[in-house]
Structure 1
């Protein structure tokens, strides 16, 4: 086994250390910390059985974060490492962890400068848990050691004993590949990760990973059920929810929407008579019935639609659109507001 680390040896690193260690991989985790993890490519640090109680860890590259004062250590393993586990406990199972560990005599009590792959031993228990990691230590695999396991009793059942705990990292601005666990928060707005089925982007304001690009939202539409009763003149009137259902929606992150209203309006009572089909908005965004969003006709019949754009809405807010009508008079023929359809489209 040959484990190399850059920026560790007091007398300088070799040219081979520099070429093999991933010195350019720094995904920030805080102001002074780096996201540690495995560098993707092939099957880094693959675990395969090497005997009843022995496990082989394959080659790979990683970044190991110490304390804030230590910083991050680029590490590579350029030859497979074979590790041997101690026998199982008499009564209970235990979980041991295989980890890449960096010893730095400036920051720990080990008195050496060394990068290695080693076993961090757990504790036997009726409900065993993986051991905590020391500083400057990157967990790769968990191994469940059954009670009484030894070379003479058949050893560790590798097919069921291994738990893959390799998490991945990437360079700043890169996409973090999927590894063990997705239960981690992003560290800056606009960070990307691969969740195994697609990309996600960290939205710092929302404090959440969001699908990227956003899943297109289908338009929401509602149709008029019954014609306007035309019992009022000279004023805008809301359709009842039974006559024309309302639309309630969540404002998309863009804060922008398109609203379309269409149908038939007519009023030929007099040469000055009008008929309107409109909508209004209530909730985190408000807008009244009127000329800015409605269809209108004067002394005639109209079949049409009108699409308007609205922006500046509060992302995540709830808005309800309510259809409405207005007629100036109702003393002649062909007075109606009917066959309406109202549609809202989210702008991504």
Structure 2
């Protein structure tokens, strides 16, 4: 039969009619097939899934699979098999090989004589024994089965430590539209754009080609670690340093950029009549400040110092700046931007001006530059500083 209906035929409903009409019961993987898996849930909601769990008696090869429910999807014409394990199922694993270790699988398996000719029509919890090898690999799971656990059996093993022997491989499935609480190593694609899953305590949405951390909707602020590349220009996220960031289309920038600041309290001097970054008699050979150009491409640049012209009332001490981006000079040092002072007694001076036309997101370096108007006069600079504030 090509077209099947459930609870319609007056001649009775076949098993295939029932299985193939499980519409809405499963997380979809195609328009006609659902995802095989264990139904999630636990008492009190503490765990992702507890059904069909594996436990054993340490020091023995004896284990059991707990009660639980699952759905196993077969081919499109056979449909999906719902299975319920209502009491624990006891299992005994074979002892270890004399030379090599092996990997066994614990599976929930469906036998259907109509299709497989097995002579059985039932579901069963089984051990699929692996092949011992120097580098053992898990065996292939049988058709129409759901892998629950893999179990590593070392060479010569006569008993296992069950807290570490088994690896949980249980997939889960939920109703159509439900959020899938999946394992951290689950690489399965979503069933449709708009499909959601919870993984690593992060909500993700399938966009048709990849799982995208959520929130990605307009206005959503993504938590720290959830988003590497934004979904749109203007998206916000919380950084690992606790700083709110905004995506400008190519990089993350501070949403509210703090000022950049540096200073020195170690006085130094120069007699050079051309601008120099180096001062004598100070540990700070060149005071420099790095800043990242904000989204406006402009900053307010502040700088200044306590200055004096030693034993001179006619000479002038100049402090100005040079701005570079890498090896490229963006702003050449000159007197027009300088803070200046003349006198044999210290005086504090500073200035400020707007720097614009910066490349958004690029890093710039401001370097303090100094000079004297007279080569015979020593100009001192103390408590000198540089500061860059984001500007409109």
Q: TM-score range by the shorter chain?
A: 0.5 to 0.7
Give the equivalent residue in structure 1 for 2:144: 136
In 1, distance between residues paired with 2:199 and 2:23?
25
Q: Which of 199, 208, 224 in structure 1 is aligned with 2:298?
A: 224
Contact 2:109 2:126 in 1 (8 A): yes
Give the equivalent residue in structure 1 for 2:359: 246
In 1, distance between residues paired with 2:390 and 2:135?
64
Alignment of 1:294-305 (within 5 A): none
Task: Name the Cα RMSD after superposition.
Answer: 3.0
Q: Which has the higher contact order (CA 8 A, sep 6+)?
A: 1
SS of the aligned residue for 1:29 comes to coil
1:60 is aligned to 2:68 = yes
Give the C-alpha shift of residue 241 in structure 1.
6.8
Give the equivalent residue in structure 1 for 2:5: none
In 1, distance between residues paired with 2:142 and 2:31?
21
Give the C-alpha shift of residue 248 in structure 1.
6.6
SS of the aligned residue for 1:32 comes to coil
Question: Judging changes above 3 Å, is the alpha-carbon distance between structure 1 residues 120 and 241 closer, same or farther for their aligned structure 2 residues?
Answer: farther
Q: Which runs of 5+ in 1 are unaligned?
A: 1-9, 228-239, 250-338, 343-348
Give the C-alpha shift of residue 37 in structure 1.
0.6
Give the equivalent residue in structure 1 for 2:126: 118
Contact 2:151 2:167 in 1 (8 A): yes
Structure number with bigger Rg: 2
SS of the aligned residue for 2:192 comes to coil
Give the equivalent residue in structure 2 for 1:29: 29
Runs of 4+ in 1 over 3 A off after TM superposition: 10-13, 240-243, 339-342
State the Cα deviation string for residues 167-192 of structure 1 (Å, max 9, x = none). 11110010001236222211210000
Give the C-alpha shift of residue 111 in structure 1.
1.6
Contact 1:167 1:180 in 2 (8 A): no
In 1, distance between residues paired with 2:184 and 2:214?
21
1:48 is aligned to 2:55 = yes
Contact 1:50 1:56 in 2 (8 A): no
Contact 2:297 2:359 in 1 (8 A): no
State the Cα deviation string for residues 124-147 of structure 1 (Å, max 9, x = none). 111111111111100001111111
Contact 2:184 2:200 in 1 (8 A): no
Give the equivalent residue in structure 2 for 1:236: none
Give the equivalent residue in structure 1 for 2:107: 99
Give the equivalent residue in structure 2 for 1:331: none
In 1, distance between residues paired with 2:131 and 2:194?
41
State the Cα deviation string for residues 32-85 of structure 1 (Å, max 9, x = none). 321001101111112111461111110101111223332211111010011111
Question: Judging changes above 3 Å, is the alpha-carbon distance between structure 1 residues 180 and 244 closer, same or farther for their aligned structure 2 residues?
Answer: closer
Q: Which runs of 5+ in 2 are unaligned?
A: 1-11, 43-49, 217-221, 223-234, 237-244, 247-252, 254-294, 302-328, 332-355, 363-388
Q: Which of 174, 178, 192 in structure 2 is aligned with 1:174?
A: 178
In 2, distance between residues paired with 1:89 and 1:101?
26
In 2, distance between residues paired with 1:31 and 1:11?
23
Question: Judging changes above 3 Å, is the alpha-carbon distance between structure 1 residues 225 and 23 closer, same or farther for their aligned structure 2 residues?
Answer: closer
Contact 2:138 2:150 in 1 (8 A): yes
Contact 1:200 1:209 in 2 (8 A): yes
Give the C-alpha shift of residue 225 in structure 1.
4.6
1:76 is aligned to 2:78 = no
Question: Judging changes above 3 Å, is the alpha-carbon distance between structure 1 residues 158 and 225 closer, same or farther for their aligned structure 2 residues?
Answer: closer
**TM-score normalised to structure 1 length:** 0.57
Give the C-alpha shift of residue 226 in structure 1.
8.0
Give the C-alpha shift of residue 340 in structure 1.
8.4
